[in-house]
Amino acid sequence: MQLLRITLLLQTIYYLVTALWALIHIQSFIKVTGPKTDIWLVKTVAVLLLAISIAFSTALWYKKYDYPVLTLAVSCCIVLLIIDCYYVWTDTISKIYLLDALAEATLLCLWLIIMVRRGKRK
């Protein structure tokens, strides 16, 4: 249970920081991540990550780690990892996004460890 809470907290903080960064100071975000043609899309993704981090924060606050929260956490890791890798591979986005892919892959590995441990206990 401790690893679950730590993993969810890490993912919450990571999503919150990246979301707020894109929303509060888009110029530095673009400077680090590369030029963007659709700022509205960057901010839309940021707001979605903010909403997800709020949901995770609520789960942490109430200590409710049910399947919908875990499903959201794992699915976010998977889809963001795929998006990062695909669009870097097609030269659509900067290679800096591979650092995000690494973060998502690390979180996904932690979630897989948690799932395996839970399965062994049942």
Asked if residue 81 is part of any domain, the answer here is yes
Each of the 122 residues of the chain gets a pLDDT tens digit; together they read: 899 999 999 999 999 999 999 999 999 999 999 999 999 999 999 999 999 999 999 999 999 999 999 999 999 999 999 999 999 999 999 999 999 999 999 999 999 999 999 887 76
CA-based angle 116:117:121, to the nearest 5? 115
Distance CA 44, CA 58 (A): 21
Asked if residue 66 is part of any domain, the answer here is yes
Asked if residue 95 is part of any domain, the answer here is yes
Asked if residue 83 is part of any domain, the answer here is yes
Tokens of residue 14, six digits: 């990571």
Asked if residue 44 is part of any domain, the answer here is yes
Tokens of residue 49, six digits: 């990550």
Q: Model-level pTM? A: 0.94
Between helix 2-24 and helix 67-89 the angle, nearest 10°, is: 50
Asked if residue 107 is part of any domain, the answer here is yes
Asked if residue 29 is part of any domain, the answer here is no
| pLDDT the model gives residue 122 | 64
pLDDT digits (tens, 9 = 90+) for 77-86: 999 999 999 9
The residue segments making up the domain with residue 74 are: 2-24+34-121
Q: Are 115 and 95 in contact (CB under 8 A)?
A: no
Asked if residue 45 is part of any domain, the answer here is yes
Beta carbons within 8 Å of 89's beta carbon, 6+ residues apart: none
Distance CA 65, CA 70 (A): 7
Q: Are 26 and 39 in contact (CB under 8 A)?
A: yes
Q: How many domains does the chain have?
A: 1
